[in-house]
């Protein structure tokens, strides 16, 4: 087992999570089995009780673990399924040690940070690193560990000391430290400053850890002089200083790291041997293709996200990623308009008319509406107003978790005539409890008691369902995080009024309403689960893909063609010349997105080959297809796509016919 520790210096929030994910993606692309661990030094047991304004969204795993949002990055980049133990917190470690002390495991010894806490950390890392995270059940070969915060934080000291010891436990040849630091460029001088990074690396060395690789984050590219200076004063070779400036899309990060030869530096440090015939540059064609497609989208789709935590976009990190993946699949650039739900309420019209009218202007100009999850009554009336506007104006709408519950309340009030319909979360003693709590998930203890994790939803027989057509299956497995549900007493009355509950979950406690749809509407869907947690760059979540396609006016044709996007539409949107066969592969990936797989992606497109400096001829495309076929991450569908790309490149080599009027 090889371990790669990613630490941060100077400031937090400079992209350690994305860099750790990108390093893992590179290692997986060249054939290694990779897992990830995120360490958060706070004393909370998990992220479940955090306000979104504290650490952004709470990401939910298959096993119901409520974890840091960086684990969402790991799952999306690596296409793996992590466990709750992949997120280590100070609270978890201390709880475990205290429980062991109460059980008498330390035989009367004084329990101390060293060795008991540090030993517990090392044992935890070694145990979790060997847990399979892919469907094949094989043990990982490389573990990427991200240490949250910055070097020098007092709460992170036990973890730093643990890894100082850990490097000798596993052997220096099996341990590598990647230090991510900031190289600022003050506007007053325009000169890139290396002192903060030097001080950060010096402090790291003083704590017993040595940076094997330094990743320098900057606003603009770093010149060779700065790189040599960092190499000189930070005790690393020049090729171990990796420069990573701001980019237009996150998909470029793995490509840039590969171009900076981070794989070569890791090979030296960890004594890695690549599989025979593996060509790293060829293997990165998938990420290069994603980056090029994302950067060259010409047409846009505007989605209004009406929520209550919009001042911090990390509060909706997975939701935004799901929209971006869906827009990329549809060949559109996402124009996301975040609208604070309180600004849509009548009270705001009196208190702050400028914000009120601006919020409604953003909403009315949008092509579609998304109302995500949340907790509490604040801003609910604004969400009700937005959903009412989408329903009566035939605007595509997707409600997730609380968004679905509010959509049901809106329909009950304005169509069924239940004027007092609301949720017991908002009004405890309401006369019309349309949304009620689940007693088994409301025990009085806040942390870890909600209905969490991956659960099955069955589509009801005989009920025509737009979402079922998008999934292409009679059952879906999605992740949940909620404490309230639709009151089954009202379901029959709502369905008679035209609102269809097309999906249900059969829990051992009760039958849950999971999916609601409004017939005779372009796209009006609410889901109790959180489909954004399982989105992937090449396998967008079906509910989000449906919203984006409906907002583009392409949903009907997409379903009529058997969930296929035509090449003509893609050319109009992106200038892409992908064949129908390649687009069919994308559709197959979307329809099978609920089945965990190691990788299902188009590798080595013609555009990617061209970006490598090739002449664009059919010989280069054939070589790319052969390399894709050799990759251990490429399935049969990918090989077919590569063959299709070879044909596409051959056609492109012929003289183009004159354009017709």
Residue 4: helix, strand or coil by DSSP? strand
**Residue 327 CB partners (closer than 8 Å, separation 6+):** 297, 301, 333, 334, 548
The 3-state DSSP composition of the chain as helix, strand, coil percent (nearest 5) reads 45, 20, 35
Which candidate in 532, 582, 585, 620 is catalytic? Answer: 532
Query: What does the alpha-carbon distance between residue 312 and residue 13 come to, in Å, rounded to a whole number?
Result: 13
Instruction: Find the distance separating the first CA and the last CA of the chain, reported in whole Å.
Output: 62
Is-contact 143 36, C-beta < 8 A? Answer: yes
Query: What does the alpha-carbon distance between residue 154 and residue 103 come to, in Å, rounded to a whole number?
Result: 29
Instruction: Measure the CA angle with vertex 384, ends 382 and 390; round to 5°.
Output: 105
Which candidate in 480, 530, 585, 645 is catalytic? Answer: 530
User: Strands 397-400, 368-371: parallel, antiparallel or unpaired by DSSP?
Assistant: parallel
Query: What does the alpha-carbon distance between residue 80 and residue 99 come to, in Å, rounded to a whole number?
Result: 31
Q: Mark whether 143 is an active-site residue.
A: no
**Residue 198 CB partners (closer than 8 Å, separation 6+):** 230, 233, 234
CA dihedral 233, 235, 241, 246 (to 10 degrees): -50
Query: What does the alpha-carbon distance between residue 17 and residue 655 come to, in Å, rounded to a whole number?
Result: 46
Is-contact 388 516, C-beta < 8 A? Answer: no
Q: Mark whether 401 is an active-site residue.
A: yes
Q: DSSP code of 624?
A: H
Residue 410: helix, strand or coil by DSSP? helix
Query: What does the alpha-carbon distance between residue 71 and residue 83 come to, in Å, rounded to a whole number?
Result: 10
User: Strands 511-517, 524-527: parallel, antiparallel or unpaired by DSSP?
Assistant: antiparallel
**Closest listed residue to residue 593, CA positions, set 531, 639, 548, 655:** 531
Helix ranges (H only) for 366-401 are 380-392
Sheet holding 2-8, edge to edge: 87-89, 34-40, 142-147, 2-8, 175-182, 213-218, 241-245
**Closest listed residue to residue 36, CA positions, set 137, 142, 111:** 142
Query: What does the alpha-carbon distance between residue 108 and residue 583 come to, in Å, rounded to a whole number?
Result: 65
Torsion sign across C-alpha atoms 148, 151, 153, 158: positive
Which candidate in 143, 234, 338, 401 is catalytic? Answer: 401
Token representation of residue 317: 């990190």
User: Strands 59-60, 142-147: parallel, antiparallel or unpaired by DSSP?
Assistant: unpaired
Give the residue carrying structure tokens 């549900």. 485
Token representation of residue 75: 């799952």
Q: In terms of residues, how long is the chain?
A: 661
Query: What does the alpha-carbon distance between residue 467 and residue 524 come to, in Å, rounded to a whole number?
Result: 10
Q: Mark whether 532 is an active-site residue.
A: yes
Is-contact 14 180, C-beta < 8 A? Answer: yes
Query: What does the alpha-carbon distance between residue 650 and residue 531 come to, in Å, rounded to a whole number?
Result: 39
**Residue 459 CB partners (closer than 8 Å, separation 6+):** 465, 467, 468, 474, 475, 476, 502, 503, 515
Residue 135 burial (CB count, 10 A) = 12
Indicate which residues carry an active-site annotation.
Answer: 401, 530, 532
């Amino acid at each position: 087992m090889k371990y790669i520790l990613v630490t941060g210096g100077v400031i937090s929030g400079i992209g350690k999570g994305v860099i750790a994910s990108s390093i893992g993606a590179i290692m997986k692309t060249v054939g290694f089995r990779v897992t990830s661990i995120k360490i958060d030094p706070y004393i909370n047991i998990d992220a479940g009780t955090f306000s979104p304004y504290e650490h952004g969204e709470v990401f939910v795993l298959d096993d119901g673990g409520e974890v840091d949002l960086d684990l969402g990055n790991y799952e999306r980049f690596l296409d793996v399924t992590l466990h709750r133990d992949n997120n280590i917190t100070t609270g978890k470690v201390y709880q475990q040690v205290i429980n062991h002390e109460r059980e008498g495991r330390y035989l009367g010894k004084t329990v101390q940070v060293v060795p008991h806490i540090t030993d517990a950390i090392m044992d935890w890392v070694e145990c979790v690193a060997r847990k399979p995270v892919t469907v094949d059940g094989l043990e990982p070969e490389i573990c990427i560990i991200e240490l949250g915060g910055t070097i020098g934080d007092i709460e992170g000291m036990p973890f730093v000391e643990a890894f100082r010891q850990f490097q000798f436990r596993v052997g220096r040849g099996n341990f590598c430290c990647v230090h991510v630091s900031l190289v600022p460029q003050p506007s007053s001088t325009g000169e890139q400053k290396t002192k903060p990074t030097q001080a950060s690396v010096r402090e790291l060395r003083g704590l017993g850890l040595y940076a094997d690789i330094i990743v320098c984050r900057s606003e603009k590219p770093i010149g060779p002089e700065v790189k040599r200076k960092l190499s000189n004063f930070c005790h690393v070779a020049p090729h171990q200083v990796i420069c990573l400036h701001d980019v237009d899309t996150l998909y470029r990060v793995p490509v840039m790291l590969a171009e900076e030869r981070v794989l070569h530096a890791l090979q030296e440090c960890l004594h890695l041997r690549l599989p025979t015939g593996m060509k790293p540059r060829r293997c990165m064609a998938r990420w290069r293709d994603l980056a090029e497609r994302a950067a060259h989208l010409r047409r846009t789709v505007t989605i209004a996200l009406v929520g209550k935590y919009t001042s911090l976009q990390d509060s909706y990190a997975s939701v935004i990623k799901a929209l971006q993946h869906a827009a990329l699949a549809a060949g559109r650039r996402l124009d996301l308009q975040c609208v604070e739900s309180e600004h849509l309420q009548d009270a705001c019209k009196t208190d702050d008319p400028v914000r009120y009218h601006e919020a409604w202007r953003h909403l009315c100009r949008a092509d579609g509406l998304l109302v995500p999850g949340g907790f509490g009554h604040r801003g609910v009336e604004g969400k009700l107003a937005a959903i009412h506007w989408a329903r009566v104006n035939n605007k595509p709408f997707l409600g997730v978790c609380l968004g679905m519950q509010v959509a049901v309340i809106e329909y009950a009030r304005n169509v069924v005539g239940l004027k007092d319909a609301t949720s017991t979360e908002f009004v405890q003693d309401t006369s019309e409890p349309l949304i009620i709590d689940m007693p088994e998930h409301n025990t009085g203890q806040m942390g870890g008691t909600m209905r969490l994790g991956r659960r099955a939803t069955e589509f009801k027989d005989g009920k025509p369902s737009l979402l079922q057509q998008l999934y292409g299956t009679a059952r879906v497995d999605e992740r949940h995080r909620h404490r309230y549900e639709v009151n089954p007493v009202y379901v029959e009355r709502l369905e008679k009024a035209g609102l269809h509950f097309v999906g249900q979950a059969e829990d051992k406690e009760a039958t849950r309403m999971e999916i609601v749809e409004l017939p005779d509407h372009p796209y009006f869907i609410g889901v109790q689960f959180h489909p954004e947690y399982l989105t992937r760059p090449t396998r967008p979540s079906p509910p989000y893909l449906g919203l984006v396609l409906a907002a583009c006016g392409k949903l009907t044709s997409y379903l009529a063609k058997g969930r296929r996007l035509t090449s003509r539409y893609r050319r109009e949107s992106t200038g892409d010349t992908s064949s129908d066969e390649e687009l069919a592969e994308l559709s197959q990936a979307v329809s099978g997105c609920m089945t965990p797989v190691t990788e299902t992606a188009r590798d080595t497109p013609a555009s990617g080959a061209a970006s490598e400096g090739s002449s664009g001829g059919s010989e280069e495309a054939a070589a790319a297809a052969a390399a894709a076929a050799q990759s251990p991450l490429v399935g049969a569908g990918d090989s077919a796509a590569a063959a299709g790309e070879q044909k596409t490149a051959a056609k492109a080599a012929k003289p183009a016919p004159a354009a017709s009027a």
